[in-house]
Structures are given as structure tokens and as C-alpha cells.
Structure 1
Amino acid sequence: MAYTVTPSPAGPVGSQYCVCKVELSICGQNLLDRDVTSKSDPFCVLFMEVNGKWVELDRTETAVNNLNPAFAKKFIVDYHFEEVQKLKFALFDQDKSSTQLYEHDFLGEFSCTLGTIVSSKKITRTLLLGNGKPAGKGMITIAAQELSDNRVITLSMAGRKLDKKDLFGKSDPFLEFYKPGDDGKWMLVHRTEVIKYTLDPVWKPFTVPLVSLCDGDMEKLIKVVCYDYDSDGGHDFIGELQTSVARLCEAQDASPLELECINPKKQKKKKNYKNSGIIIVKSCKITRDFSFLDYILGGCQLMFTVGIDFTASNGNPQEPSSLHYINPLGTNEYLSAIWAVGQIIQDYDSDKMFPALGFGAQLPPDWKVSHEFAINFNPRNPFCSGVEGIVQAYSACLPHIRFYGPTNFSPIINHVARFAAQATQQETASQYFILLIITDGVISDMDETRHAVVQASKLPMSIIIVGVGNADFAAMEFLDGDSRVLHSYTGEEAVRDIVQFVPFRNFRNVPKETLAKAVLAELPQQVVQYFKQQNLPPINSEPA
């Protein structure tokens, strides 16, 4: 999607990569009729490309005598944001009971990336025959859904008049929450902190995934056990209760839910036993802990911009020693970085029009230095069509500019930040901006760049820096706030880490996919963190 100018606390971090399961639902329309006496009996086979070969993952059931099937069997695929996952959906007319596909009539196929499907949520495309021509009027519709229960439950608990267990004092109570395990035994889910010397404790609110607490089943029985803490580990049992999340949800801030804490042994022994205290549910809230895929399926577009370093330290592009020299294979480190990142990101942008900017060069006709120029020399329309368009514009501009300097990052960062700031006026999770800067060296405007990054950290924006060549990239590591919080020269702190720096030299002798994984590893987390800080749910999200 091209930029259009219109007037108008981070959760716990999961695994390094964004991995989750996606369910794909398949329908066919107007399939070819391969049977003489009846209609085709179609089934769909899913393949994934692995090391350049198509590998079958799964197949649906057969829809008997049906040219417009809606298959009940769903395909479940692991989704990896930072990989290009190529899928092929092939339809066949079942003729025999054989599992060999060549025994069945081919009805057409469609190939795309998993990223294309999830970024659109639902796509309908023409089926093609082996020769690339349409399979009659045959179409396939693929719909994606994330397979996860992203609900979390936040509980505020307290106690009143709990049994006194310590000889010389009160009790040191804590709670444990259990759910029934598959083996029929109670399984510990959560333990609160210990509150010392009190029979009327108030525990800190805590949040756990609803799946952890009750397997997502609000009616399932859960057990809450209250103990008196002992430093030797021999905690004294105070009492317990059984309830369900549905019951806990009756608690409101104004009217807490009170549950009796029972000690079964005391209950049996004492006739007038009432309880061992009261456990109070002060509040119970269920919300959704949205994932990166929730935002993408909700319609969030990733807006990709490339910034390319054309300073003199890169060397004369006509000479093989230059970092901008395009070798006989038609590539260099700049192009490799553009391809590695661009081929992933482009699936998440509906019109695939990307601004490509250069900095540090003298431009014709007056040869003034520019630190943010369109590499297609069209400042009104700096957009390139897809990654191929960026590559073509890059190759075409090299003979027409003079490499110069200095290496200033802040103009390009501020350029993208202006569009990101405009996107915040919509107050929806609809756009997130990614700036890829490829550079060969030391930043000249470090103070201004630090300031620009700190300001950009408040916006829906991330910056990926790929360092090419063999220069000292210590300053880049400094911008990448993995080990410490970045500060502006004014002393202002970045509200989140938005810079990911990777030196290309670490990836020269490994598959190109490895660079994409390293460069994009933190991006899903950064997208989610920003929208959560702004309290923005995915556009089409359902209430918890």
C-alpha cells in the first residue's frame, strides 16, 4: 500500500520468532468436470516447498459428485513470519482408491506464499493447469484463521479471617491454583506471592492465559488452595475451594465474590465448623492478548521503505572493489539485503508499492548533496513496484549520481516518521512502517540520528539497519537497544527498542533465508508492543 496523506505495558515476550498455527479452509468453485456419467469427485492436496521441492503436507476428504466443494477437513500449518513459505493447492478428481496422485484426474492448482493468504485473510484465485492456462472457470478460495485462544484472565484476590497457623504470630498465606490434568490429578497452574503476618491478606493482581487456568473452558472446575508459608517447605494447609472461571467472573470491582475456604479434616471433626476463612475475588477480567498474526489478519499493512547509502566510502561502482559494484551474477551486498527483507515484507502490503530513497550522493543537474532522494528521480512518486522495482531503480540510478557524503541517517528516519505520525491520526491498528537502511559505515550525524530514533520509538515504526562491507559498526550496535535503553542527546529515553542491526558479513556464506530470519526476528514483537502500548486492538477483533 502506498503512503497517502490524509487530514486526519508491553506483554511478556514469547519465543524469538513468531510461530503459531494457522488453519486454512478450502472451497472450490466451477471445477472441471472430469467424469462422464456424473460430476467430478474433488479432493485438495496441500504441498509446501522445502529445499526447492514440493512436499505433500496433507489432503482433504473427497467431495462426491460436486463441482463447488467446501471441504470440511482443514489444513493446519505452522506460520513463520520471517520465512517465505511457498504453498501449492492442487485439486484432483478421485477415480480410484489409490493414494498415488497420478492415478487421479488433475483439476488445477494454485500457488502462493502463506504470507499472501494471512495478509488478506481470504483469497479467491483462478486454478491453473500444468501449462499455466486457466482450468476452465475453476476457482479456489482459501481462508486463514489463527489457531489459538489468546484470552488471558486477570485476578485480584484477597483473604479474610483465615485460620491462624503460626504459634507466636499470625499466618503467612499464599494461594495455589490447580486445574484437572489429563491423568485425573490436579495440576498446578499458578502460585501467588506470600503475604507475611496476616489473616487478611491482599495479593497482587496476576494474569495467566485462560488456556493455562482452565483449558479455555469457563465451566471446568478449578481448585484454589490456601497455605501458610514455612521456610522449611513444610507449608501448613489452611483450606481449599473448588469453583469455575464462569463463577469467578461474577466478581465486579464494586461487588467482590466471597468464597468459603474449607479444611475437610476440620469439617469432619468439628460439628460447629463453619470455614477456615473467606477467599475474596476482588475482580476478574478476561481480555485478549493479541498476537502479531491477530493484527495481520485484522488488516494491518506493513509499509516498507528502503534507504540506500551512496556515500563515497562505498567505492566507484564501476570497479569490482566497490560495495555497489554489480557482479556478473547481477548482485551485490546491497541487493542481497533488499531481496532478503523485501521478499518477506512485500506479502503484507496490498499494492506492493514501496518508496526507495538514497542518501549521501550528489545529484544532477546541479550536483548538490542530498540525504533523502528518490532513487527513481521522481520525488512526487518515489514508489517502486515490488522488490523487483526497487532493484531496477537502484541499478538504473547508479550511473547518474556521484557518491559523496557525509553519512546522515536522520533525514530518512524523519521522512518515514512523518508518514508514521500521520497514520496515528487514524487511531486504528491499520499501518506499521518499516525502514530498511543499508549502509557501509560510520554515521556522521549520530546525535541527530539518536534523537530521530527516540522520537520514532513513539510511532508505529521499526528500523532495520544492514551493515555491508567490513567497517567498524560499533555505533550501529549502540542504536540497537538490545542491551541498554537508547537516549537522545536531550536525555530523553526511547519508549521501546525499534532498531535491529545486522552486519551482512556474518551472513556471507550461509543461505539467504538466514539473513531474513536474523533481520526480521524482532519485528513481530515490536509491532505487537506498539499497538498494545497504544491500547489498539486488531481492526476486526472480537471481544473476549
Structure 2
Amino acid sequence: MAYTMTPTPAGPVGSQYCVCKVELSVCGQNLLDRDVTSKSDPFCVLFMEVNGKWVELDRTETAVNNLNPAFAKKFIVDYHFEEVQKLKFALFDQDKSSMQLYEHDFLGEFSCTLGTIVSSKKITRTLLLGNGKPAGKGMITDIWCRDHLAECLPGPQHVNLQPLLQSLKSEKPQSGEVQDKSTLLLFVVCYHMPAQPSLEPTEIAAQELSDNRVITLSMAGRKLDKKDLFGKSDPFLEFYKPGDDGKWMLVHRTEVIKYTLDPVWKPFTVPLVSLCDGDVEKQIKVMCYDYDSDGGHDFIGEFQTSVARMCEAQDASPLELECINPKKQKKKKNYKNSGIIIVKYCKITRDFSFLDYILGGCQLMFTVGIDFTASNGNPRDPTSLHYINPMGTNEYLSAIWAVGQIIQDYDSDKMFPALGFGAQLPPDWKVSHEFAINFNPTNPFCSGVEGIVQAYSACLPHIRFYGPTNFSPIVNHVARFAAQATQQEAASQYFILLIITDGVISDMDETRHAVVQASKLPMSIIIVGVGNADFAAMEFLDGDSRVLRSYTGEEAVRDIVQFVPFRDFRNAPKETLAKAVLAELPQQVVQYFKHQNLPPINSEPA
């Protein structure tokens, strides 16, 4: 195997703005022994596929004379849901001080996607040598263990994996499993990154990882001092925390409430780490001002408290704090206060990310809906949108591959329903707008994206393209399964429907109604328009610029439709289409589960 060292890239591989980072902790068990007089001295190298080539990202330290290493060095990788991120873990026995990998004995490797790692609790793979044959009797096991992650302290650190290794040794192998197995363990830790790139990503990531809590406050005032000569005050609040230099730092400012001494401010939410550095006992200062348009706001009063104290507030028994003006307090002997600030409600929750839900075990349930209406043309005609060219593809297949190869990493059984609409089916040649393209209505599932492609190709000669173009039956089909998933009252499943179509929707009113109802469910719809038709109706369903309404006037609870015309990506790299159609999906998943107050499965309480 010809391995050469690749210079470390100047920046992270991937797009400029990474939503989060994933930390992989690696340890091995029963590795091959390549040394004659002692045991191997293994180290692990991580590669990522970039433009068809394996690029070295990082390598661990060397574990001297050890076939069961627990590497202290962590791999930190930028995680992008909308990309297929292929990784390769290669192990070597260090023989020299050279950085060139061909100078060292090769112990084995395995490849997978980052999506597979973060979405799996445990997967087992054969450890392969350079010729593709198994490395002895070795197996590779990727493990992500939720319980161990919950116990980890914030930030990069050494994790003692020996107890887990011992427990793994004591496990009884399943039928057909090799007992002397060479094992690689990967532990996944999520780093939530800020929206803008940072010069100190590791330090900021550690803080973000240690505390994803947010605090929601509902504040009011009573009998505040009157500051305006011809009217009442226009009060607002400012929240401060102590900085490292001892000065107070502004954290949050409420809106201004006009012409009142008894204001009620809108509830607001801020990260707990922003308000008090995550320390609920730390003192914070709240200052009350009367707004003036010239910027010379009049000071009403202030007080100091802590998050722990404010959390004593309940709906039935709010917390009242005196607003004090120190100057007035010194001047007036009978001064009591400048009003009362009321904490009506205070609650700390966790601001979970998309990756939190995936790591928690949420499965993405993928369904494909394919347009077989006559406007597509005869599939045997090269001008048809369903014509499979000599390269074995067309725009329908390109869309299926682009979305499916991403989503399939997040579904454990990788069995996907594939449905068609707008065709006449044998033997009676009745039109159907909801049929299994494998012609098995009781089991419309296909094995992986390859299974969808095979079923699609096989069904083309056996159906007659017809019409009209009705979306609502397939939308309602997936919605029924999404509705059943809500009965679990857990963030365990989220449904994704990919519709690929060439034309204008015939049942727009019914489709609008179906989408509005589906917006209440754990479900998103991706529409890819193929060909050169007018797709204005699709843009209408995609509620980026306006709220979608049903024909009854009911508004969609949230935007769940993402539409892209394939023609915009014909000459672009194949990865570009996937990024475009999946760009909004992570946000839609998080938005739904947050709206339902569903945390990731087995997540820690705030």
C-alpha cells in the first residue's frame, strides 16, 4: 500500500462556515503484532476523501508495545450534514521516526462516512489489509456510547477507555463472530461552533460543548419612578455580567415599553453562558432606564441578583426585586425604592442542535415520490426525462442519488419506500397516484439507494405514463406514518419525502392543505423540479418568502418544503445539489422537536 504524507490543509476541509465539530476518540483492541521481539507500536491516521483523493487530516500518538491502545490524541472533524464525508482510519506499527507512512508496517484500515459514525450506536466492520483481504481474524467496531459521553467533562481531554475495553472483552460474541477480534472504538463528541469562524475554535468549542443551556425570562415592573415631565416613563432593562477585568459587560437589552410605570416586557431567551458564564450563583446586575430619543436615557434604578435566585420565580408566585437608585438612597432618609422589578417566569433549558438529536438516536425516515406523468416523454426516447443515458443516469436518478446518499447514513435499516404517481398500472391500466415502484404494495421498501435505483429502472418498461400530476396522495401517505410516530412522544423519528417532478401540480388546493397539515408533524418535503417547465407553483409551496396557507385559510405551523430546480445544477459538481436541497433540513428537524418540547432521547436535564 503506497501511503504518502499529505501536507496539512491551511484550513478545515469543507465549507467556510461549519455548524459544529465532531471529536473522535480512538482506541484499539487485539491489533496485529508486526514486531518479532516485542508487540506492535501502533498509531492511527485519519484520512478524508477530498475530490476523489485521500487527504490526511491528523494522526494519533504512538502507543509503545501495545496491541490494545487507548489513544489520548483526539481527531476533531468539521461536520456537515449535507455532505457525504468519507473517512478512512488506518493503523500502522511505527518502526522508524519518519513521517512517511510507507516507512511503517501497515496494520489495517476501514472506511465509512462521518454520517454513519454519528448516527450509529454500534457498527462492526472487517479490518482490511491493502489487498482488500481481512487483517487476520480482525474486526472493527465503531461504538458511540451515550452513557460514557454524558459523563465526559467539557473540552478535549484524555478519556480512560480501559474499563470499556474490559467490558467488551467480557461480552460473549454473537453467532458467527470471531472471538480474537481486532477492534477500533470511536467515541463521538459534538462541538457547537459560533456562526462566524473563530481564531480560537478549540477554546470556544469547549465552552459551547460544556454548556448548551439557555435561560428564558419574563420580566415586568410596578410603580417605577416617573422620569418624563409631561408623561410617564418609557422603561427598558439592561442585563450585565462581570467581566474578567472587573467591569460590567452588557449582555441583553429589552425592548422599550412606552408611557407606563408598570411595564410588561416580552419574554426573551439568551444563552446561559452569555448571561452568567454558566454559573447560576454568579451575581448579575439589572439596570432600569427611561428611554430618551436623544440617547441620554434617564437612570431609574438597579439591583443585583443571580440566576439561581431568579429561578425561584414561578407562574403562581413571581419574584419581586426592589429597583434601587443609589443616589436617591443616599440623599433621602425615607427612600424606599424606585419601583419593583418582577421576575414573572424563569426557566433554564438546553438548546439542542440537530446533531444532538442524531446522536440521541433520531432516525431520518426517507421516502421517494417519482413523477411518471406523460409530460416526461416516452422513457425509450432520448429526449425523455426518464430516458436512462449510456452513462446509466438521468435527472431523476441524479436527484435520488444526491439526496439519498446523504440521508441513508441516518436510517439504521436503510430500507426506503419508493412510490410513483401519474401512471397507468397493469393489469387493468388504471391511473395511480400512490403506487410502489417495486409493485409490492404491502412492502414498498427498497434496500438502500441502490435498491431504489434498481426498482426505478425495472418498473419503467411495465407502466404507461399518464397523468395528472397529483402530489397530495403521496404527501398524505408519508404524513400518516409521521402521525403514528408522534404517539411515541419521543424524538425518535423524522420523515423526509423527496418528490421529483417535471411539471405543474394539478391538485394544488389539496396539496396546499396536505402540506399545511404535515407542518404539524415530524416531516419535511424536498421537491426537485426536472426539465425546463415553469415551477412557479413549487416556489409557492416553499414558504421561504411567505406563510403557506391551506384553501381553508389555515396557516402552516412551520416551513417544511424546500424546492430546487435541477436545471440550476446541471453543470455544477454533484455535491452542490445535495447541499442546496438539504440546507434547511437540520433546522426543520430541530424546530419541530423544540416546538413539541421533545429533547434528544436520554439527554441530560438542564
Could you state the TM-score of these two structures normalised by the residue count of structure 1?
0.89
Question: 1:263 deviation in Å?
Answer: 4.8
Q: Distance in 2 between matches of 1:65 and 1:406?
A: 70
Question: 1:522 deviation in Å?
Answer: 1.5
How many residues of Structure 1 are paired with residues of Structure 2 in the alignment? 544
Question: 1:268 deviation in Å?
Answer: 6.8
Contact 1:363–1:370 (Cα < 8 Å) also in 2: yes
Alignment of structure 1 residues 315-330 onto 2, 5 Å: 315-330=377-392
Q: Distance in 1 between matches of 2:4 and 2:510?
A: 27
Q: Deviations over 1:197-226 (max 9, x none)?
A: 555544332211112222333344433223
Superposition RMSD in Å: 7.3
Out of 526-535 and 75-84, give the one that drifted further. 526-535
Out of 365-374 and 385-394, give the one that drifted further. 365-374
Partner of 1:512: 574
Partner of 1:279: 341
Contact 2:3–2:100 (Cα < 8 Å) also in 1: no
Q: 1:280 to 1:364 in 2, by over 3 A?
A: closer
Q: Distance in 1 between matches of 2:310 and 2:374?
A: 67
Q: 1:226 to 1:384 in 2, by over 3 A?
A: same
Q: 1:11 to 1:102 in 2, by over 3 A?
A: closer
Question: 1:341 deviation in Å?
Answer: 0.6
Secondary structure of the residue aligned to 1:12 is coil
Q: 1:241 to 1:75 in 2, by over 3 A?
A: farther
Secondary structure of the residue aligned to 1:92 is strand
Q: Distance in 1 between matches of 2:463 and 2:48?
A: 43
Q: Distance in 1 between matches of 2:409 and 2:396?
A: 21
Contact 1:117–1:144 (Cα < 8 Å) also in 2: no
Q: 1:491 aligns with which of 520, 545, 553?
A: 553
Q: Deviations over 1:60-95 (max 9, x none)?
A: 333333322233333222221111111122223334
Contact 1:304–1:434 (Cα < 8 Å) also in 2: yes
Q: Deviations over 1:240-271 (max 9, x none)?
A: 44443334334444554455545556667778
Q: 1:201 to 1:379 in 2, by over 3 A?
A: closer
Question: 1:237 deviation in Å?
Answer: 3.1
Out of 40-49 and 331-340, give the one that drifted further. 40-49
Contact 1:304–1:354 (Cα < 8 Å) also in 2: yes
Q: 1:122 to 1:190 in 2, by over 3 A?
A: farther
Out of 389-398 and 416-425, give the one that drifted further. 416-425
Q: 1:288 to 1:422 in 2, by over 3 A?
A: same
Q: 1:9 to 1:308 in 2, by over 3 A?
A: farther
Secondary structure of the residue aligned to 1:334 is helix
Q: Distance in 2 between matches of 1:274 and 1:174?
A: 21
Contact 1:17–1:82 (Cα < 8 Å) also in 2: no
Secondary structure of the residue aligned to 2:4 is coil
Question: 1:185 deviation in Å?
Answer: 4.3
Out of 215-224 and 10-19, give the one that drifted further. 10-19
Question: 1:353 deviation in Å?
Answer: 0.8
Q: Distance in 2 between matches of 1:238 and 1:131?
A: 78
Out of 136-145 and 177-186, give the one that drifted further. 136-145
Q: Deviations over 1:162-208 (max 9, x none)?
A: 55544555543322112344565433210012234555544332211
Out of 393-402 and 208-217, give the one that drifted further. 208-217
Q: 1:34 to 1:12 in 2, by over 3 A?
A: closer
Q: Deviations over 1:252-291 (max 9, x none)?
A: 4455445554555666777887765554433321012222
Identity %: 96
Out of 116-125 and 323-332, give the one that drifted further. 116-125
Q: Deviations over 1:217-236 (max 9, x none)?
A: 33444332232322210123
Q: Distance in 1 between matches of 2:294 and 2:570?
A: 56
Question: 1:388 deviation in Å?
Answer: 0.7
Out of 336-345 and 21-30, give the one that drifted further. 21-30
Q: Distance in 2 between matches of 1:18 and 1:402?
A: 46
Q: Distance in 2 between matches of 1:146 and 1:34?
A: 42
Q: 1:196 to 1:462 in 2, by over 3 A?
A: closer
Which of the pair has the greater relative contact order for Cα pairs under 8 Å at 6+ separation?
1
Q: 1:147 aligns with which of 200, 209, 214?
A: 209
Q: Deviations over 1:497-541 (max 9, x none)?
A: 222111111111101111111111111122222222322222222
Partner of 1:106: 106
Question: 1:477 deviation in Å?
Answer: 1.5
Q: 1:267 to 1:53 in 2, by over 3 A?
A: farther
Please say if 1:234 is aligned against 2:327. no
Question: 1:47 deviation in Å?
Answer: 1.9
Q: Deviations over 1:375-419 (max 9, x none)?
A: 112222211111111111111111222222222222222222222
Secondary structure of the residue aligned to 2:296 is coil
Contact 2:4–2:100 (Cα < 8 Å) also in 1: no
Partner of 2:28: 28
Question: 1:451 deviation in Å?
Answer: 2.4
Q: Distance in 2 between matches of 1:395 and 1:186?
A: 67
Q: 1:415 to 1:311 in 2, by over 3 A?
A: same
Q: 1:327 to 1:73 in 2, by over 3 A?
A: same
Q: 1:248 to 1:5 in 2, by over 3 A?
A: farther
Contact 2:354–2:590 (Cα < 8 Å) also in 1: yes
Out of 37-46 and 492-501, give the one that drifted further. 37-46
Partner of 2:493: 431
Secondary structure of the residue aligned to 2:210 is coil
Contact 2:378–2:386 (Cα < 8 Å) also in 1: yes
Out of 416-425 and 515-524, give the one that drifted further. 416-425
Q: 1:162 to 1:138 in 2, by over 3 A?
A: farther
Q: Deviations over 1:34-78 (max 9, x none)?
A: 334433333322222221222222233333333222333332222
Contact 1:442–1:473 (Cα < 8 Å) also in 2: yes
Q: Distance in 2 between matches of 1:274 and 1:14?
A: 60
Secondary structure of the residue aligned to 2:321 is strand
Q: Distance in 1 between matches of 2:5 and 2:425?
A: 27
Contact 1:21–1:147 (Cα < 8 Å) also in 2: no
Out of 253-262 and 233-242, give the one that drifted further. 253-262
Q: 1:507 to 1:102 in 2, by over 3 A?
A: same
Alignment of structure 1 residues 101-500 onto 2, 5 Å: 101-141=101-141, 147=209, 149-159=211-221, 162=224, 165-167=227-229, 171-181=233-243, 185-259=247-321, 261-263=323-325, 278-500=340-562
Contact 1:16–1:521 (Cα < 8 Å) also in 2: no
Out of 259-268 and 330-339, give the one that drifted further. 259-268
Contact 1:27–1:140 (Cα < 8 Å) also in 2: no
Question: 1:326 deviation in Å?
Answer: 0.9
Contact 1:11–1:529 (Cα < 8 Å) also in 2: no
Contact 1:121–1:145 (Cα < 8 Å) also in 2: no
Q: Distance in 1 between matches of 2:312 and 2:375?
A: 67
Q: 1:318 to 1:202 in 2, by over 3 A?
A: closer
Out of 315-324 and 329-338, give the one that drifted further. 315-324
Contact 1:122–1:144 (Cα < 8 Å) also in 2: no
Contact 2:352–2:590 (Cα < 8 Å) also in 1: yes
Q: Distance in 2 between matches of 1:4 and 1:110?
A: 17
Q: 1:172 to 1:13 in 2, by over 3 A?
A: farther
Q: 1:494 to 1:278 in 2, by over 3 A?
A: closer
Q: Deviations over 1:346-397 (max 9, x none)?
A: 1111111111111222222232222222211222221111111111111111
Q: Which ranges of structure 2 fall in alignment gaps of 5 or more residues?
A: 142-203
